[in-house]
């Protein structure tokens, strides 16, 4: 049976690509269509020949699905730009979860350190926090099975689960010779993208936005409203520092809503120009209601996507100050335009460009429909430490 699947996968893949070529082809001029069609079919035949040679001569068996979906397609996208990405079902589900900021689990951040996975931070009030898990605990077992050698994604998947279910976590803790076992009842976890908000001085607020894995999720605007309220509200602020360092970006609609909070009503936030979508200009619908307090935005080389939109919009406002550290990279995610395809047929990138005010073009992002396949920051001492933001491999189960 495996051999039959292997033999069918390559023709199916070539047939799908041919179908895509036949679908996209009519949109091109006839001469260009014929030339490009011949080139595509010729290159696909070459791909099939290369695969056949590799499969016949490689020392071990070659998995066709892995060769195509983990190798050929991601490799193709890397030739387009650094940001186009192919998502399998599990990766896409994880991305959706990060953008929702709501899931069922134990409520803590874990990171990989060498061959171990370490608890970096149990969220205050979370099931992990109440059970007694501490930063620095090394996870060695889950539900009676060894967790040694598992990566953070695998451990996060084991720790998440239905609400009300119990997971037993074995950890090694400094000062203890034997593992400690904690029984943790999974519950709803809200992972706020605002990691801290406080006053640097009377009337001068500080907000850090971005939790390392998600910068602008479905709750970001709500989190920002809450943070400003905790600082006394816009009417009582004399100034604000918005820290977007290490913010990886996220949802476009949330970036627009956050920028809207700090701009004059009607001011342009960002405009969108795409090959296969209508041009659209996003403006501040509500505005800052006249609260024009000074504002500083901190960015670094890991500030990207939606965070760039907020930064760009603020940098063109009358009271502006942006403190960069190297140029950020644009990698915009959008929830619109049918982001999920249930079959592997759609794999055609659609070029999009985003512009801030005064038509300063941001780096283009070739955004793919998500395809489901079945079966050096600025001076860190200048700002007090907040809940961790990381650019390393970290998860929040």
Structural domain spans, the chain: 2-79, 102-190, 194-391
Of residues 30 and 342, which shows the higher confidence score?
A: 30
pLDDT at position 32, please? 58
Q: For the chain, how big is the Rg over CA atoms in Å?
A: 24
Q: Categorize the per-residue pLDDT at 375 as very low, low, confident or very high, splitting at 50, 70 and 90.
A: very low
CATH number 3.90.226 given to 194-391: yes
Q: Is the distance from CB of 17 to CB of 40 less than 8 angstroms?
A: yes
Q: What percent of the chain has pLDDT over 70?
A: 68
* Alpha-carbon separation of residue 366 from 43, 76, 165, 270, 352 (angstroms): 22, 13, 41, 17, 6
Domain 102-190 superfamily per CATH: PDZ domain (2.30.42.10)
| Residue pair 231/204 in contact by the 8 Å Cβ criterion | no
What secondary structure letter does DSSP report for 79? T
Q: Are strands 370-371 and 295-298 parallel, antiparallel or unpaired?
A: unpaired
Q: pLDDT value at position 228?
A: 96
- pLDDT over 50 (residue 193): yes
What is the structure's pLDDT at 17?
Answer: 55
Same topology between domain 102-190 and domain 194-391: no
CB 211 within 8 A of CB 387: yes
More confident residue, 263 or 84: 263
**pLDDT for position 278:** 85
Task: Output the six-digit token pair for 110.
Answer: 């874990």
């Amino acid at each position: 049976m495996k051999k039959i699947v292997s033999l069918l996968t390559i023709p199916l893949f070539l047939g799908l690509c041919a179908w895509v070529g036949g679908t996209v082809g009519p949109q091109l001029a006839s001469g260009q269509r014929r030339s490009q069609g011949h080139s595509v079919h010729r290159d696909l035949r070459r791909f099939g020949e290369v695969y056949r040679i590799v499969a016949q001569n490689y020392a071990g068996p070659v998995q066709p699905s892995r060769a195509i979906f983990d190798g050929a397609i991601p490799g193709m996208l890397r030739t387009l730009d650094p940001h186009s990405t192919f998502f399998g079902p599990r990766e896409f589900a994880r991305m959706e979860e990060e953008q929702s900021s709501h899931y069922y689990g134990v409520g803590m951040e874990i990171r990989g350190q060498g061959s171990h996975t370490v608890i970096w931070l149990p969220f205050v009030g979370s099931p992990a926090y109440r059970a007694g898990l501490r930063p620095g605990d090394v996870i060695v077992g889950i539900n009676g099975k060894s967790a040694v050698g598992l990566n953070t994604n695998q451990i996060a998947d084991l720790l998440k689960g239905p609400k009300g279910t119990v997971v037993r976590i074995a950890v090694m803790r400094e000062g203890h010779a034997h593992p400690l076992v904690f029984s943790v009842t999974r519950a709803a976890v809200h992972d706020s993208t605002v990691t801290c908000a406080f006053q640097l001085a009377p009337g001068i607020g500080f907000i850090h936005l971005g939790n390392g894995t998600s910068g602008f999720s479905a709750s970001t605007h709500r989190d920002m409203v809450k943070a400003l309220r905790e600082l006394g509200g816009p009417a009582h602020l004399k100034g604000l520092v918005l820290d977007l360092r290490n913010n990886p970006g996220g949802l476009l609609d949330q970036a627009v809503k956050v920028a809207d909070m700090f701009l004059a009503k009607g001011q342009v936030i960002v405009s969108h120009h795409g090959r296969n979508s209508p041009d659209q200009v996003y403006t501040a619908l509500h505005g800052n209601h006249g609260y024009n307090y000074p504002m500083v935005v901190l960015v670094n080389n890991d500030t990207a996507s939606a965070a760039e939109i907020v930064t760009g919009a603020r940098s063109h406002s009358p009271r502006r100050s942006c403190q960069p550290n190297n140029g950020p990279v644009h990698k915009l995610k959008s929830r619109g335009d049918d982001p999920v395809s249930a079959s592997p047929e759609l794999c055609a990138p659609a070029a999009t460009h985003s512009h801030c005010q005064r038509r300063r073009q941001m780096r283009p992002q070739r955004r793919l429909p998500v395809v489901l396949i079945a079966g050096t920051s600025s001076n860190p001492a200048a700002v007090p430490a907040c809940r961790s933001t990381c650019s390393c491999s970290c998860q929040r189960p």
